[in-house]
Amino acid sequence: MCSRPPPPPGGARGRPAGAGRSRAGLAFVAGYAVLLIAFGVLPIGYAVYFAFTDAGGTFTGFSNFVTTAQDFRFVDAIGHVALYLLFWLVSLVVFVVALALLLHRLAAGPIGRTLRFLYYIPGALAGAASVLVWLFMLDPTVSPVSSLLEALGFGTFGEVIAPGNLPVLFTVIAFWTGAGGWIVVMYGALNNIPQDVLEAARIDGAGAWQTAWHVQIPMLRKWIVYMVILAFAGGAQLFVEPQLLSLASVGVAGRDYSLNQLTYDFAFQMNDINGAAAVSMELLVVSVSAAGFFVARSGFFDAD
């Protein structure tokens, strides 16, 4: 009596065992790809078209880029955004990593759980809502910390939001809003560090500071680079904070403080869509170039 041959892998029809999982993965990726094309690739292509043409659709080369660069507000806006990015990125890297390490050491107790909750609360607020909260916080007449503002020498709202204070204020607002989510991300990355590595460091006599500096922070390097890339891209597009502050201060903060505000002004105040598209393309090129630099210098895609 002849024995029946075993069925082929993946079922009677010879379908590969992982075919179902592959199709499910492709379905998830396809949904994202459609949204990426619709709300990412196509708008970029639209902006490129406007950046290199005039109002009549005639190709003008780099004329729009030259015209916007010659605007008397352009260089100042670059300086404002560059100073803000310096404060924002340095504070983000230093304080987020430090607070994540502290949270990791306290994670076992109720204090750690409470801190994880408190860190994430500000991130639940939308950007505009968080700025509105800070408008009250920064006005000495209604602020719950008015005594602190007065101790620092600020008696009026106008003194608090003086142009020289804006980079620090925007950094504080951005940190309060966005740092909590990154602290949770770094905390999760710290939990993925093998315990035997940390135990080996302790056996070698490393204290908490030495373990953090020589073991944990180097193993967080790729996560820190990832955070810096996204924070740089988001910070270069500074808009909501100075725009709302400008409206609340009746122009004291200025409506052309950042490059994104200047783009908005070109498009909706000066009716120069082509110039606005040129500035937006410059922001895109700078952000992509910075991301490429960080990835290349950090070995982001190298195998550990």
Domains of the chain: 72-298 (1.10.3720.10)
Return the bridge partners of 53, or none. 59
Check residue 243 and give its pLDDT: 87
The tokens describing 292, both together, are: 């490429």
Q: Report the alpha-carbon distance of residue 58 to residue 234 in Å, rounded.
A: 32
Query: What letter represents residue 10's amino acid?
Result: G
Check residue 15 and give its pLDDT: 57
Contact call for residues 257 and 246 (beta carbons, < 8 A): yes
Concatenate the DSSP letters of all residues of 187-223 into one string: HHHHHTS-HHHHHHHHHTT--HHHHIIIIIHHHTHHH
Check residue 7 and give its pLDDT: 57
**If 0-12 CB within 10 Å is exposed, 13-18 middle and 19+ buried, where does residue 203 land?**
exposed
Q: What's the average model confidence in pLDDT over 3-12?
A: 55
- HSE value, Cβ hemisphere, 13 Å, CA-based, for 46: 9
* Each residue's pLDDT tens digit, 150-208: 888 888 888 888 888 899 999 998 888 888 888 888 988 998 888 898 889 888 888 88
> Is the per-residue pLDDT at 290 higher than 70?
yes
CA 41, distance to chain mean position in Å, is 20
Q: Which of 14-23, 110-119, 229-238 has the lowest mean pLDDT?
A: 14-23
Return the bridge partners of 59, or none. 53
Confidence of residue 71 (pLDDT cuts 50, 70, 90): very high
The tokens describing 279, both together, are: 């500035």
Length of the chain: 304
Q: Report the alpha-carbon distance of residue 123 to residue 230 in Å, rounded.
A: 15
The strand ranges marked E within the chain are none
Q: Report the alpha-carbon distance of residue 171 to residue 89 in Å, rounded.
A: 9
Most confident of 120-129, 264-273, 290-299: 264-273
pTM for the model stands at 0.84
Residues 6+ apart with CB under 8 A from 164: none
Local structure of 69: helix, strand or coil: helix
pLDDT top residue among 246 and 267: 267
Return the bridge partners of 148, or none. none
